[in-house]
């Protein structure tokens, strides 16, 4: 089977790359990496997109493991998952040979 051909690192890097494959998600990661955490409501004020669209972008980043969310009713607090973010940085460095 083709999926068995690829290493777990290659599969994980592809998942990170897919999650980062949209400018809104790049912006979110840049914003979150500059502060400890951010609430989803604050993000919706910064971005000129619908809240439902923002929610989908946050979901994609969360499913890839790049961010984590914590419910603090009525808001959700998002933070960078530092362990996975470092893993992504390391895998990209290996790929780009930097």
CA distances from 49 to 1, 39, 70 (A): 40, 16, 22
How does pLDDT run along the chain (98 residues), one tens digit per residue?
777 899 999 999 999 999 999 999 999 999 999 988 888 888 888 889 998 999 999 999 999 999 999 988 888 999 999 999 999 999 999 999 88
Domain range enclosing 29 = 8-96
- Does the residue 1 lie in any domain? no
Query: How many structural domains does the chain have?
Result: 1
Report if residue 2 sits inside a domain: no
Domain membership of residue 3 (yes or no) is no
61 assigned to some structural domain: yes
Residue 21 lies in a domain: yes
CB–CB of 48/11 below 8 Å?
no
Whether 52 is in a domain gets the answer yes
Max CA distance (Å), the chain:
46
Contacts of 98 (CB under 8 A, 6+ apart): none
CATH number of the domain at 25, please. Answer: 1.10.10.10
15 located within any domain: yes
**0.75 cut: is pTM over it?**
yes
């Amino acid at each position: 089977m083709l999926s068995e051909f690829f290493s777990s690192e290659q599969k994980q890097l592809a998942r990170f790359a897919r999650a980062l494959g949209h400018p809104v998600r790049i912006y979110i990661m840049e914003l979150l990496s500059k502060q400890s955490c951010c609430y989803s409501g604050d993000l919706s004020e910064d971005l000129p997109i619908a809240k439902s669209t923002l929610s989908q972008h946050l979901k994609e980043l969360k499913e890839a493991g790049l961010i984590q969310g914590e419910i603090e009713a009525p808001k959700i607090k998002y933070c960078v998952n530092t362990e996975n973010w470092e893993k992504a940085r390391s895998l990209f460095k290996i790929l780009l040979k930097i």
